[in-house]
């Protein structure tokens, strides 16, 4: 699949933003009012900023961004529509939580419930984002049981890394942030390992024979057009499969760098500032691979024997 | 509404039956489709850089060529394979649409895109295993086969012209249009008689369009047709034989060896 940069930015930025926002919600639930206005405000602005940048960027790849509001209507059948609805709904508890947590609205009793609701909505939104992809039967690498867990784990791990870094800057570093983020990272590394092993070993059940009905002895003789059409441009991307092993290794390398930096944080918290860019780079590369490695069933009509 | 309509008893399922035995790959269906639809429901079907180095454009029907080797034979044959929207009974391209622009008509099962509400997110094209949808970069909306919905019910056309443009254009009669929901219809009978099949049935989108397999080859018949006729020794035959020798300027016996060669020809 063609890796559209707007969609990669959308899923990674909003993922990290929702991860951070969810953790801030849990912090509010646990600790009550923000320990300082400047820390809380900065963290909130970064979280909501990443989410908003991501959502805006997702509209850049639309043919008609001005009609994007129509996407809220088909939540009964479409995961993309559900994702849009969940993303917009999340702003409501998130902004109310921010207002109470930062004591702009004085209602300390509401911080806990609003924080929990915000965290839950973040999880729901990332879940819907992942379901857009995992629900597509046409793409074997996406239609996989670990697609959704990987999206959720990436959101939590990158959000946690950002929280640790922001807390360090404002002198609010705490060991639980490292332990939580480290645990999320370990889960993520394991999930991603099993995900890649799973898609590599899974049986390719769709064949050119079934796609054309012409039997096992079929092979491509002539494509119907002299230059690439939309189908080939959008679904025929094959660069990543060539370099997949090296690029997957790079993702793991940067996830381990993040983990190592977090471990060393326990001695010198300032190293968390190194962990944040490392995990964001890993997220972008992993998401690029997620698209670029994915093979679409339609490739069977264009010479692929099995998909 | 992108939720699918509930199928009714005797649900009408308009679609095509494509005969892979008679299709000669002439592209007439492709060009007539483009011609009709660039001024019809999907208008315009834009092309870019048409005469340049990197031409591209939106086409709703593409004809592939496949080489097929049958079991137990050394040689192969070419099968021309037209590919367009199959107007599935349970199309994922419709249910993934976030805006309701993509929909399946309850009355006849035709799958359409409303170009006024499509946001151009391309998700429907990702959901389709058949590559039936092509994005129009210049319009920012998705385009697809409409089964010529603006022809088949068009009372401004003569009744015999109320069929999809591709069907009307096919010079070999390889494309058939009708109601596949009616087991008595001509198209349903054709599918039954010729063992018509679905593409990628295991994906369970239940395509309405069906394909008819190429017939088994009849070598004895085709070889006999190609073989040169044997001389019967008549006066006319001797005259032609003499004319052939005279014009070829070659010694006698050449014709006989040519005739022998004909046995080795194969259809």
A68 shares contact with chain B (CB less than 8 Å)? yes
Res A137 pLDDT > 80: yes
Chain A nearest-CA distance from B13, in A, is 22
Query: Nearest CA to CA, how far is A124 from chain B (Å)?
Result: 17
Query: At residue B187, does pLDDT exceed 90?
Result: yes
**In the predicted structure, residue B256 carries a pLDDT above the cut 90:** no
Is B202 within 8 Å of A219 when comparing Cβ atoms? no
Pair A188, A154: CB distance under 8 Å: yes
B41 pLDDT more than 90: no
Read off the pLDDT of each residue in A196-216 and give the average, rounded to a whole number: 94
Q: What is the pLDDT of residues A162-195, one digit of tens each?
A: 999 999 999 888 888 899 999 999 999 999 999 9
Q: How far is B130 from chain A (nearest CA, A)?
A: 6
Residue of higher predicted confidence among A269 and B208: B208
Residue with the larger pLDDT of the pair A270 and A188? A188
Show residues of chain A in contact with B54, CB under 8 Å: 227
Alpha-carbon distance A16 to nearest alpha carbon in chain B (angstroms): 23
Strands across the sheet containing B175-179: B175-179, B14-19, B210-212
pLDDT-above-90 percentage for chain A: 85
B261 confidence band (pLDDT: 50, 70, 90): very low
**What average pLDDT does the segment B101-115 reach?**
96
**pLDDT band for position A266 (50/70/90)?**
confident
Task: Kindly determine whether residue B66 and residue A218, on different chains, have CB atoms separated by under 8 Å.
Answer: yes
Q: What is the pLDDT of residue B264?
A: 47
Q: Closest chain A residue to B120 measured between Cα atoms?
A: A63
Residues from chain B contacting residue A210 (CB–CB below 8 Å): 199-202
**Chain A nearest-CA residue for B139:** A63
Hey, is the C-beta of A78 within 8 angstroms of any chain B C-beta? yes
Smallest CA–CA distance, residue A189 to chain B, in Å, is 28
Compute the average pLDDT of residues A143-161. 97
Report the C-alpha gap between A131 and A126 in whole angstroms: 9
Q: Are residues A80 and B55, on separate chains, in Cβ contact within 8 Å? A: no
The pTM of the full predicted model, rounded to 2 decimals, is 0.89
Q: How confident is the model at residue B43 (pLDDT cuts 50, 70, 90)?
A: confident
CA distance A294 to chain B (A): 11
d(CA A303, CA A15): 36
Given an 8 Å threshold on Cβ–Cβ distance, is A138 in contact with B55? no
Phi-psi region of B75 (alpha: psi -120 to 50; beta: other; left: phi over 0): beta
Interface predicted TM-score (ipTM) of this complex, two decimals: 0.94
Strands (E), chain A: 218-222
A231/B119 CB distance under 8 A = no
Contact B200 A137 (CB under 8 A): no
Long-range contacts from A141-148, C-beta under 8 angstroms, 24+ separation: A141/A199, A141/A290, A141/A293, A141/A294, A141/A295, A142/A290, A142/A294, A144/A195, A144/A198, A144/A199, A144/A202, A146/A191, A146/A194, A146/A195, A146/A198, A147/A195
Tokens, residue A21: 């926002």
Contacts of A225 in chain B (CB under 8 A): 59, 62
Residues 281-300 in A contacting B (C-alpha not used; CB under 8 Å): 296-298
Contact A2, A233 (CB under 8 A): yes
B198 in Cβ contact with B15 (< 8 Å): no
pLDDT number for residue B257: 46
Residues 175-214 of A with CB under 8 A from B: 205-206, 210-214
A-B contacts at Cβ under 8 angstroms: 197
Q: Enter the tokens of residue B213.
A: 């397999």
DSSP string, B247-264: HHT--TTHHHHHHHHHTT
For residue range A63-101, list pLDDT tens digits in order. 999 999 999 999 999 999 999 999 999 999 999 999 999
DSSP state of B212: E
Which burial class, exposed, middle or buried, applies to A290 when counting CB atoms under 10 A from its CB (0-12, 13-18, 19+)? buried
Shortest Cα–Cα distance, A8 to chain B (Å) = 14
Task: Break chain B into its structural domains and give their ranges.
Answer: 14-212, 220-262
For residue A228, list chain B residues with Cβ-Cβ distance below 8 A.
56
* Of B65, B120, B126, Cβ closest to residue A222: B65
Count other Cβ atoms within 10 Å, centred on residue B76: 15
For strands B14-19 and B210-212, give the pairing. parallel
CATH topology of domain A5-302: Formate dehydrogenase/DMSO reductase fold (1.20.1630)
- Rounded Cα distance between B56 and B53, Å, is 10
Q: What would the DSSP string read from start to end of A185-217?
A: HHHHHHHHHHHHHHHHHS----BHHHHHSS-TT
From the list B36, B98, B199, the residue with the least C-alpha distance to A88 is: B98
**Rounded Cα distance, B120 and B142, in Å:** 6
pLDDT average, residue stretch A47-70: 94
A224 contacts in chain B (CB < 8 Å): 30, 62-65, 83
Q: Are the beta carbons of A78 and B135 separated by less than 8 Å?
A: no
A234 touches B at CB < 8 Å: yes
User: Is A138 near chain B, with CB under 8 Å?
Assistant: yes
- Fold of the CATH domain B14-212: Alpha-Beta Plaits (3.30.70)
Determine whether the interchain pair B119/A77 forms a contact, defined as Cβ–Cβ distance below 8 Å. Answer: no
């Amino acid at each position: 699949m063609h890796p559209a940069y707007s969609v990669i930015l959308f899923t990674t930025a909003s993922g990290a933003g929702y991860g951070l926002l969810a953790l801030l919600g849990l912090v509010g639930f646990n600790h009550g009012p923000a320990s300082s206005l400047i820390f809380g405000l900065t963290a909130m602005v970064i979280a909501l900023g990443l989410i908003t940048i991501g959502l805006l960027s997702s509209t850049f790849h639309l043919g008609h961004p001005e009609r994007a509001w129509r996407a809220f209507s088909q939540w009964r059948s479409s995961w993309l529509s559900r994702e849009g609805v969940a993303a917009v709904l999340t702003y409501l508890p998130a902004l109310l939580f921010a207002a109470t947590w930062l004591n702009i609205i004085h209602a300390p009793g509401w911080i806990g419930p609003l924080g929990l609701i915000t965290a839950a909505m973040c999880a729901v939104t990332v879940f819907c984002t992942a379901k857009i992809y995992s629900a597509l039967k046409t793409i074997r690498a996406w239609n996989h049981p670990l697609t959704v867990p990987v999206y959720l784990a990436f959101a939590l791990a990158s959000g946690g890394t950002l929280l640790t870094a922001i807390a360090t800057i404002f002198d609010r570093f705490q060991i639980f942030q490292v332990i939580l983020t480290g645990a999320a990272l370990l889960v993520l590394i394991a999930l991603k390992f099993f995900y890649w092993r799973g898609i590599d070993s899974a049986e390719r059940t769709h064949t050119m024979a079934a796609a054309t009905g012409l039997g096992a002895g079929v092979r491509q003789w002539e494509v119907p057009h002299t230059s690439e059409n939309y189908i080939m441009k959008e679904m025929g991307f094959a660069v990543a499969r060539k370099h997949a092993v090296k690029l997957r290794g790079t993702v793991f390398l940067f996830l381990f760098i993040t983990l190592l930096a977090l471990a060393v944080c326990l001695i010198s918290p300032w190293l968390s500032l190194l962990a944040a860019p490392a995990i964001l780079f890993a997220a972008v590369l992993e998401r690029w691979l997620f698209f670029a490695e994915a093979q679409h069933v339609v490739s069977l009509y264009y010479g692929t024997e099995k998909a | 509404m992108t939720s699918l309509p509930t199928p009714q008893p005797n649900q009408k399922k308009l679609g095509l039956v494509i005969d892979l035995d008679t299709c000669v790959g002439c592209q007439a269906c492709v060009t007539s489709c483009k011609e009709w639809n660039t001024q019809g429901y999907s208008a315009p079907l834009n092309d870019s850089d048409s005469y340049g180095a990197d031409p591209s454009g939106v086409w709703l029907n593409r004809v592939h060529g496949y080489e097929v080797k049958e079991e137990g034979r050394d040689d192969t044959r070419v099968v021309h394979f037209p590919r367009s929207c199959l107007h599935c009974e349970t199309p994922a391209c419709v249910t993934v649409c976030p805006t309701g622009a993509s929909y399946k008509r309850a009355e006849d099962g035709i799958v359409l895109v409303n170009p006024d509400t499509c946001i151009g997110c391309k998700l429907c094209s990702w959901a389709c295993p058949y590559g039936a949808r092509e994005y129009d970069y210049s319009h920012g909306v998705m385009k697809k086969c409409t089964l010529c919905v603006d022809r088949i019910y068009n009372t401004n056309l003569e009744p015999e012209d109320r069929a999809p443009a591709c069907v009307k254009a096919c010079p070999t009669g390889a494309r058939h249009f009708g109601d596949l929901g009616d087991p008595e219809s001509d198209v349903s009978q054709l599918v039954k008689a010729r063992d018509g099949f679905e593409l990628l049935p295991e994906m369970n989108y239940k395509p309405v369009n069906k394909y008819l397999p190429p017939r088994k080859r009849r070598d004895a018949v085709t070889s006999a047709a190609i073989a040169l006729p044997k001389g019967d020794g008549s006066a006319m035959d001797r005259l032609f034989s003499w004319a052939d020798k005279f014009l070829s300027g070659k010694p006698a016996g050449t014709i006989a060896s040519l005739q022998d060669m004909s046995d080795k020809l194969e259809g």
